[in-house]
Amino acid sequence: MHEAAALERGSSEAGAPAMTRRRAIRVFAAAAGLPLMIAAVRASAPRPQLFRWQGQVLDDVAELTLWHSDAALCRRTILKVHAEIARYERIFSLYRPDSDISRLNAAGELRNPAPELRALVEESQRFGILSGGAFDISVQPLWRLFEAHFWSQTHVVADIVARAHETARRLVDFRRIETGASRIAFAVEGMGIKLNSASSPMPSPTSCVTKASSRPSSISASSAPWAPTRMAIPGASAFAMRR
């Protein structure tokens, strides 16, 4: 008996504890009870459910849907997303006169622009160069002309085709946008930018109207000029935001 005890003690000192009959019974009993413990935890855990938020994003309807069992986490996430949307609205919204882009279009200059605005303008200028001018964010004056003539009819022009070509020639040119860390400015008074095209390209300014048609061609009206923001939600089965 002393020899068996010494042998078991020697095995423990050499490495892992020896697997005695009593130890094996304990291990097997714990393993057998594990599925029951998991089932009990799952039964007591709150069931996942859908959490939805609807609101306006750049004058368009947006919806956020979360599938999760933690209601408090979903509420906090929705509040974070809403705050981020509001921040982007203050930068990019053409429907808010106090946004960065609206103040730039109105004054022709913006001091200390938001980094997101400056980065998107500079990237859009790069695409303008790569496309040989087919991609151009400075089409806002042309858009205003079309809106006043075709939709609101607040300023109907006798020869819209000629006026569109004249506006494009004088005010549409992404190369006349000056960008820097502390300032964005237009080289010509009356210029303006429209960053919808940064997510859904618009046709070139001169192709928006033709002599064969009295209405403009199809023009993008997407309301998402920024890259989508992704948030990690622990345990979430689905996370979607759609317009």
> Is the overall model pTM greater than 0.75, yes or no?
no
In a domain, residue 170? The reply is yes
Q: At what angle do helices 71-92 and 115-130 cross, to 10 degrees?
A: 60
In a domain, residue 97? The reply is yes
For residues 29 and 25, give the distance between their C-alpha atoms in angstroms, rounded to a whole number: 6
Q: Give the model's pLDDT for residue 118.
A: 95
**Per-residue tens of pLDDT for the chain, all 243 residues:** 555 455 455 444 455 556 565 555 555 555 555 565 555 556 666 788 898 888 888 777 888 888 888 899 999 999 999 899 999 999 999 989 999 999 999 999 999 999 999 999 999 999 999 999 999 999 999 999 999 999 888 988 899 999 999 999 999 999 999 998 899 999 999 999 999 867 543 333 333 332 223 333 322 333 333 333 334 434 433 333 344
In a domain, residue 243? The reply is no
28 and 55 assigned to the same domain: no
Give the tokens for residue 91. 């930068």
In a domain, residue 173? The reply is yes
For residues 68 and 74, give the distance between their C-alpha atoms in angstroms, rounded to a whole number: 7
Q: Give the model's pLDDT for residue 41.
A: 57
102 and 38 assigned to the same domain: no
Domain of 11, in residue numbers? 2-44
Q: Are 217 and 208 in contact (CB under 8 A)?
A: yes
In 3D, which of 142, 194, 134 has the Cα closest to residue 163? 142
Q: How many domains does the chain have?
A: 2
Range 68-85 burial, b when 16+ CB lie within 10 A, else e: bebeebbeebbeebeeeb
159 and 186 assigned to the same domain: yes
26 and 65 assigned to the same domain: no
Q: Give the model's pLDDT for residue 32.
A: 56
15 and 80 assigned to the same domain: no
Residue whose pair of structure tokens reads 């609205």 in the numeric block: 89
Residue whose pair of structure tokens reads 């997101």 in the numeric block: 116
